[in-house]
Structure 1
Amino acid sequence: MFEQLKEKPADKILALAQAYREDPRADKIDLGVGVYKTPEGVTPIMRAVKAAERQLWEVETTKAYTALTGDPAFLDAMVGLVLGEALARDQVSAIATPGGTGAVRQAFDLIRMVNPGARVFVSDPTWPNHLSILAHMGIEVVMYRYFDAETVGVDFSGMMADLDGLRAGDVVLLHGCCHNPTGANLNMTEWQAVVDLLNAKGALPMIDIAYQGFGDGLEADAAAVRYVAVNCPETLIAASCSKNFGIYRERTGILMAVAQDRALQRVAQGNLAYLNRQNYSFPPDHGARLVSMVLTDDALRADWQAELEEVRLGMLRLREQLAGELRRLSGSDRFGFIAQHRGMFSRLGATPEQVERLRAEHGIYMIGDSRINIAGLNETTVPVLARAMIDVGI
């Protein structure tokens, strides 16, 4: 049987990380993999998470399975974090998942189960794994315009024109905040127009929110998600705890299904539990337990929010420093968008040839579409990147 297997293309981001590790240059800079790093290049364990782990070590008495859908305290805490008081809890079905990726996969499974003919509209560009999973599952993808390379912002008119082709039962995949890979976000007026169009077409919004707290703050970053969930008949939300809690390897995520019709919540909850059983039975608990402990303890939550705000503001300072350094070197404001974008990522607008020159001549690694991880920089490496960008003609 195995002789029928075919080689699969290497994941470009992981391949880039491998090339970086093999580069002997001491002054190399990694702006590729989307993991938060301190100025020292370390992905830290957050203070509140470490404190929760100490507490858990003392009080945990069993490693038995939790509920099929995950620990109820985790589900309640995460629904509260993402949706606040925008909806009643009995309007939201939820399951714990192995990371945000697991939540995305379960959402696609639910969509395929309910409507095998549904098309999923995906922003151009998007997180590459969205497209990889959809292709693997055989779900039809329709790209909609999102990023305007000329303005280095959202091509909203193009986006709306493409979404006008929606049919009833189609799904639109949206980034809740801190768009990956561009860093360019919709404003609230644009979100409202998208919701009106989805409702008019009878399409389902699916929101992937992986960076809540990394953009404009925890509440501001959730505003669009809450607006959609309140104003659409049904909404799917995939959320990740990897970034804002720094627990990447614990694989902690949640999938929420929101229904305005409360009568549908019980059926939706049962189907989500069914999907968990088919794919991995009981979800992992360690990271979820830490998240629920942090979110339900006043002192831990306050410390977590303070550290998360330090992370957010640190990335904003790096954005402003890079935009300012490029303004100084280029004599123009054409890089001002870097300070305006939000989250870990921005797309610089470089050609693949320029990206390759940055790697070969300057030891600066980034994705081929010129997406950079802002958190891969520090105050010392920002001027290095700026000079290299000018040198290769960006």
Structure 2
Amino acid sequence: MSSRLAGREAPLRPAPDEAVRRLLSAEAVRTRCHDIMAAAERDELTHFQWHPGKVADIAAYVAATTRQRFPNLTIPPHSRWRHFEVLGYHLAPAHPSDTAESRAEIARRAIDLVIPSVLLDAGAGPHWQYRDPRHGTLSRSEGLAAASLALFTGGELSADPDDPLRTDAERLSGCEEHTLARVFQAGADNPLVGLRERAALLRRLGSLLQDHPAIFGTPARLGHLFDYIAAHASDGCVRVPDILSLLLTILGPLWPNPLAQSGIALGDCGRHPASRDGYVPFHKLTQWLVYSLIEPLAVGGLRVTDEDHLTGLAEYRNGGLLLDMGALTVRDRRLLEYPQPAGSEPVIEWRALTVAALDTLRVAVGQRLAAGQRPPLTMAQLMEGGTWAAGRAVAARARGDGRPPLNILSDGTVF
């Protein structure tokens, strides 16, 4: 199929209202989450108490988990590609003989796959399972990775029958619940949380691609994001803050969140009185998407810098680790007994404390892993090494089914 990209003279970073721009950044995530942590350190929070004396124990456990998983401390970054690799699907490496166009097409296909997969990776719920013909029964993130991979490799996202491994706006816009149910093996006896909402999210994604022809081309293809980013790179270099800013501005309308400023959706953002302006952004899936785009962009020939601009991810494995190991305790035990809406103040508080605590843990775990002139531990390595696996392990010990300590009412699109 032919395609056309236009408007490459536009800046990579959009220019929304200044107040909105500040919230659509990882810097805002970090500063607002540390506002909540500062209140916790003053023991002023309504729902949680912070126990810094537990940090050393958690850091030791995370460091031991990391050494067990990666004995030589060659720790890959936390991204969707780690799940795909377990499934035997690897990002095709570039070869010295590859042309610039062939490298670019590898990157486009990787982006075509990884963006829908990340967006479909909000919690699956405790009962859903995916039966993979090669890898057996999978659940949660691994199961969602396998199902989204099947969606992509089966040509369900391509509008070109001669080129099934691509993601086109036309197919995204027509995604129906029954299609996802079939591919994800979901039904009454295998319920997937938020199935309807996930299908609606893919349809909204298709519409957004068509609304941005300068970025995604005509007809719109998701992988053309690579061409847009490459065209705005400086000497082959692109900064992570610019990628995140671009995606947060484009993808903001995807999320079913009524919070907006100046008509611009704030995406994965909540409210809390301890924040300096009342807002607490997290941008969890979008940040994880950027973590997962770094490798495809590099294979395409771009040099990606400023990765440490990103924060830790405000999700229930990282946050569950803090609760299960006692760094956080609830003031009212009923908070652990009753389901909590994802946008409720207790959940906002928990997620904010998680992001701030990960900054502290990164330093503490890095000190325990330090060996010679080893480069400092990155946030992506901390989570992969790391806090995510440790959080899953302690959840399994505390609750046989491994569910998080807080029961979150999820719609399958954000958390």
Q: What is the TM-score normalised by the length of structure 1?
A: 0.29
Q: Give the structure with the higher percent strand.
A: 1
Q: What is the TM-score normalised by the length of structure 2?
A: 0.28
